[in-house]
Chain A
Amino acid sequence: MLTTTPNLTRPDESYAALIATHEGLSEAESHALNARLILILMNHIGDHAILTDAMRLARDPKGQG
């Protein structure tokens, strides 16, 4: 089951790290990095049902309740 309740141990640090990861990259390079990041996180999660729940939620954030 997809976790949608707050789950980040250090939200501000994680978000800042995400932005910093893109520093100095062109837009194309950033898009490529995002794609790699999504694939790495997908593999970490692994479970197909959770992944498709997350994809649906990303496509339609209002769809959640």
Chain B
Amino acid sequence: MPDKTAPQLPIHYLQSTIPQSAMSTLTIYKRELGSYFSQPTAYAIIVIFLLLSMGLAFTFGSFIKAGDASLEWPFFFWHPWIFMLLAPAVGMKLWSDEQRNGTIELLGTFPVTTRSAIIGKFLAAATIWLVALACTFPIVLTVNYLGDPDNGVILSGYIGSFLVCCSFIAITMLVSACTRDQVVCLIVSVFVCFLAVVIGYDPVARALDSFATPPAADVIAATGLWAQLVRWWHQGVAQMVEVATSFGVWNHFASLNRGLFRLQDLVWFGSTILISLLGTSAILSAKRS
């Protein structure tokens, strides 16, 4: 039975310096994070990530055999491949679950904006990966013990790795807004992330480049409509290959991995994440109207 002393919106809350949207983002963040850790999801993902990243570093990565005090090839090289499988597994439930259980109706009628909810959920999933990456610290200790690596480059590699992860989570979130089925979300997001990884991967990029060969000498020299069309075709293909490879994650990851902070990479990661999150918001609103 509600009594007369029922709380109104508390004054101290209204006076608080933290804006309301940040508070609700934080509340949603805490709930999502709690839900990851109250279920086996987070633990399974972190353990599998550690097994894969360490396993690959010490086997195919030839971490010991290479005798090189760096983590670029033996360790970070594998991360995009692992993330393209595991990041969607973390993100797939974010909106699919809400839509399947109908809790999106609760969320939609609470005094929170869709934006706060999206940011809260995104940050929670990113936190899982921050924890997973932090758990790989023994390899940093090892490489410092065995040799004299540039720790700045290692830090930069971690940042690159984390940004790849965040991009994949954002992409998964966009997909999960589209479907109430987690399996569909997983498959589609893995495929999109796979494309993003593979398209800029060196062997694939080179294969694509071979399509973009310049026209033969006699065509360049020739005049006439046909030769002109062939030249345009070659130019078009070359440009398309360039655009496609620049959509790949590899270019941007590799430079950070080498310890290089380029504005273009940060812009790429930033805009991938931002566009995915805005797209999520657009899809969620479109679904209601």
Are A and B part of the same complex?
Answer: no
